[in-house]
Structure 1
Amino acid sequence: MSQTPLVLQPLAQLQVAAASALVCAGDLLYLLADDELLLQRYDLNGVFIDQQPLLAGSLPSAAKARKRLKPDFEMLCQLPDGALLALGSGSTAARRRGVLWQAGVTRVLDLTALYLALESQLQDLNLEGAVVQGEHLWLAQRGNSAGSINALIRLDLATLMQQLAGAGLDAEVLRAVHAVELGTLHGVPLSFTDLCLDAQGRLLFAAAAEATKSSYHDGACLGSAVGCWHAGQVQSLWPLAGEAKIEGLCRVADGSLRLVNDPDSREARSWLYRLVLP
């Protein structure tokens, strides 16, 4: 790991309190928050444009009830046909749904069959990153609970696109699960929080050092890092200055990154940051 922390450039405060996934499409940013039912759009500097519900209904305002009932959308990726795919974390039975969004039209997906297949290989499932790379769609397992591991999960994109025409995804899309060792930051294990691609098409990831042994209960975050995984191993890992829990990242046209944090409090707002990797 690089020893000199990279400094995040704050761009804007966002209109959510728990930003969890970020995708860049052209000159627009699409954003999810894990305690909302919404897909939001911003410009590249964080100016709010609009939002649309992904699921019908509303969530309770009380923190414990909201946490129990939320779909926990932690992943967002753009598919080859331009559609956006939002996925729940799978950390509880209520979090096994996805939503396919295209041109303002939404369709809810059942992810139970796929997530049960993953649970047979991964203890305490908690998915928090998704990105398309060539013929595959990668998911990131966040190993932030006792006994769980960080892992990158490879899905077959062609099979997935076929299944998206139906009601949901099952184990036929699954190709491989790769355990990944991320090390520690300030003595706390790092765990995946999001994925994107760099300019060479390699996997970039965000990871947070959150002091918790649970995939459900939050803990104090001691900081975050950005890294590159390629050819079966972590090639680079850059710690970030400060203690922001980075939960989403994407690359924009000029090669810089946009990142968002989750302050784990309904009383605070998430921030959009800019970062240029060395």
Structure 2
Amino acid sequence: MLNPVHLRDLLVDPALHPRGQAHLSAASGLVQVGRCLYVVADDEHHLGMFEADAGFAQPVQLHRILPGDLPRNNGKRKTLKPDLEVLALLPAMPGQPHVALLALGSGSKPNRQQAFLISLDAEGKPGEAARSIDLTMLYQPLREQFADLNIEGAFIAGQRLHLLQRGNKGDGRNACIEYAWPDFQAWISGVQAIPPRAARISEFALGHLGDVPLGFTDGTPLPGGGWLFSAVAEDTSDSYNDGACAGSVIGWVGGDGKLQCLEPIEGAPKVEGIALVGDDRLLMVTDSDDPKVASQLLRLELVN
């Protein structure tokens, strides 16, 4: 059993939050760039940004990536939100001297097929306005294999971009979908008009917690090859409706692409984003699916 340390709640200045909340409540994805940590809020039009060593009370800064604001009503907001569940760190793009962030919609509904490319400056801060990318053509072939598409994680490793498809009670298949990074980069940078086809799709049997299947929520590459992932047992039969969280696990995939092991996380937090710091510390963010509850930043010490 992995025992996380609670580092902080993701508090914000309520005067700057679009609904006046004093916290982010739906943090997904987690990326570190220098001293900065980024999360994407799946029920907002913003990134959250804060320093990795910031004190508990230091507010998270909000960086807008879409115009306008979502409705205050929970049901209407859920229907209209872009469902940005994924945040990935990209190397410098052609014509850009610094790294970038890519936020992707889950694809679980037609209005959730949009990505945003966010350029960063030399200090790792957002520069120009985010550029929107239509994911419809990228996701269409994936729907032929996964009717209930739900992309929840992404990372680059070994010159390939990996997308993580999350299963549920209706379809328990989890998958890692790989694209040749040069081809994917050519598409999102506008050099290539047609998105690439997946180079490989590998399905993973993650098992259950109780009678609830585990589903991918995020992934991060390991320095020596392979990757880590978070997975959650959420009691729902589709990618749209929320359900009770039976718990979360961290899993290891080897350089050969084989699942090596799973370890449950003490306290059953709903982990939606992870980032590896050094070789043995894993940062995690949570999403309780309740607007009244702040997302948390947690830390795990990994033992090889």
- Deviates most, 194-203 or 20-29: 194-203
Aligned to 2:291: 266
Counterpart of 1:98 in 2: which secondary structure? Answer: strand
**Structure 1 residues 173, 57: closer, same or farther in 2, change over 3 A?**
same
Cα offset, 1:135, TM superposition: 0.9
Q: Per-residue CA shift, 1:217-271, capped at 9, x if unaligned?
A: 0000011000111213211211101121100000123631110111101111100
Residue 38 of structure 2 is aligned to residue 30 of structure 1: yes
Residue 17 of structure 2 is aligned to residue 6 of structure 1: no
Cα offset, 1:199, TM superposition: 3.1
CA–CA distance in structure 2, aligned partners of residues 267 and 75 of structure 1? 22
**Structure 1 residues 254, 177: closer, same or farther in 2, change over 3 A?**
closer
**Structure 2: gaps (5+ residues):** 11-22, 93-98, 121-126
CA–CA distance in structure 2, aligned partners of residues 41 and 116 of structure 1? 32
Cα offset, 1:27, TM superposition: 1.7
Verify the 8 A CA contact 2:212 2:235 in the aligned structure 1. Answer: yes
**Structure 1: gaps (5+ residues):** none
Select 2:239's aligned residue among 215, 222, 226. 215
Higher relative strand content: 1
Counterpart of 2:154 in 1: which secondary structure? Answer: strand
CA–CA distance in structure 1, aligned partners of residues 32 and 41 of structure 2? 15
Aligned to 2:81: 70
TM-score, scaled relative to structure 1: 0.94
Select 2:114's aligned residue among 94, 97, 118. 97
CA–CA distance in structure 2, aligned partners of residues 155 and 254 of structure 1? 26
Structure 2 residue identity aligned to 1:7: N
Verify the 8 A CA contact 1:260 1:272 in the aligned structure 2. Answer: yes
Verify the 8 A CA contact 1:117 1:171 in the aligned structure 2. Answer: no
Matching of residues 39-188 of structure 1 within 5 Å: 39-45=47-53, 47-48=58-59, 50-81=61-92, 82-103=99-120, 104-105=127-128, 106-166=130-190, 170-188=194-212
Select 1:227's aligned residue among 239, 251, 257. 251
Counterpart of 2:199 in 1: which secondary structure? Answer: strand
Cα offset, 1:171, TM superposition: 4.5
Aligned to 2:269: 244
Q: Percent identity, aligned pairs only?
A: 41
CA–CA distance in structure 2, aligned partners of residues 33 and 21 of structure 1? 8
TM-score, scaled relative to structure 2: 0.86
Number of aligned residue pairs: 274
CA–CA distance in structure 2, aligned partners of residues 145 and 35 of structure 1? 23
- RMSD value, Cα: 1.7
Structure 1 residue identity aligned to 2:238: S
- Deviates most, 25-34 or 40-49: 40-49
Bigger radius of gyration, 1 or 2?
Answer: 2
Q: Per-residue CA shift, 1:83-130, capped at 9, x if unaligned?
A: 110000000000000000003221000000011111011120000000
Q: Per-residue CA shift, 1:152-197, capped at 9, x if unaligned?
A: 0001100111111229985424211111000112332111000112
